[in-house]
Amino acid sequence: MKLNKKIKILVNYVLGPLLFIWLSYSLYKQISKQPDLPKAWDQLRQTPLTQVVIYIALVFLLMLLNWLIETWKWKLAIRKVQQVSLFKAFKAILSGVSFSATTPNRVGEYAGRVLFLDDGNRLRSIALTIVCSMSQLIITILMGCIGLLLLMNKISSAEIIAGNDNSLWLKIFLYGSMIVLAVMLLLYFRLSIFSKLAEKIPWLDKHLYLVKDLENTEIKLLVKLLLLSFARFIVFCLQYYLLFRLFNVEINWWQNLFVLSVVFLILAVIPTFAIADVAIRGDITWRLMKLFTINSLGVTMTIAAIWFINLVLPAIAGSLLIAGVRLFKKKELQN
């Protein structure tokens, strides 16, 4: 069914600016809700300017590295469908961040990325884009299970979780996560299962092309995606560690690594809107970080800075890029 002219014009010229306005409003609402903002600002002013500039610059560069790694991942994942330049893929990634910021668990990133592909390839690329995200989720669950296993006794004794038997719930969560990880790994390295399953469902016959590209996916590619996902995970942890140092949170590298592993695992299973998850992320991170530090303000400042640098800035950039994307060519608009 063809879209009429008015809808095409609406999508072409309104979608990007509207998303930018919504993101700006959401950003304002989230910042205005932060009760410790004045204290955080006072503490930041007391820190030597040179130190602040160096640390923030490093974290910003790591943010760029993070999204460049994700760009490379996605570029590799969709090359069966369409070859894209690194620059175009980077713009698609930022567009995806913009869409994902206002959708539950960032599911909107798929729609944002495919805007930069050719019209006939957009739907075909979604399955491979999901595989790209799946590789990151596998690393998140794997590292989260390791972190939870190592911190199990400490978390249980600290009574972080309300209830009488914290260790029981932690074990249920750990074993459940391990089962999910095993299933995901099985599916990840047997992607042809999805196309074979679709072939057996009669009403999916005409949509087989959407998952056909999953067949014969090279193991080498899947392993490469996992390694790149692990590299992103390390970049995330390094960003946190640098900001913890800046805001005087006394925590060593292994505590930082394993606490964040558990935080990322919990956030992966909690349905949240990325633009609004700063409060949830802050609460979860502090509950675990207080096992090793009493600097709650420093932890809060770190979470807010990570949220702003890693999500808000790329999302705003992505919304501006969307404003410049024309989904339909002039000939199509005339039809």
Among 22-36, 58-72, 163-177, 208-222, name the one with the lowest average pLDDT. 22-36
Most confident of the ranges 129-133, 135-139, 293-297? 135-139
Range of the domain at 326: 5-333
Taking the C-alpha atoms of residue 96 and residue 318, their distance in angstroms, rounded to an integer, is 7
pLDDT at residue 121, as a whole number = 85
Average pLDDT over the chain reads 80
Q: CA 82 → CA 56, 71, 75, 120, distances in Å? A: 36, 14, 9, 10
* DSSP conformation letters of 225-245: HHHHHHHHHHHHHHHHHHHHH
The pLDDT of 301-307, averaged and rounded, is 87
N- to C-terminal Cα separation, the chain: 13
69-103, pLDDT tens digit by residue?
999 999 999 998 899 999 999 998 998 888 777 67
Number of domains in the chain: 1
Per the model's pLDDT, the better-predicted residue between 121 and 163 turns out to be 121
163-173, pLDDT tens digit by residue?
556 678 888 99
Among 2-11, 114-123, 193-202, name the one with the lowest average pLDDT. 2-11
Per the model's pLDDT, the better-predicted residue between 206 and 143 turns out to be 143
Read off φ and ψ for residue 67, nearest 5 degrees.
-75, -25
Taking the C-alpha atoms of residue 279 and residue 166, their distance in angstroms, rounded to an integer, is 23
241-278, pLDDT tens digit by residue?
999 999 888 889 999 999 999 999 988 887 665 555 56
Read off φ and ψ for residue 242, nearest 5 degrees.
-65, -45
pLDDT at residue 269, as a whole number = 82
Enter the pTM of the model: 0.83
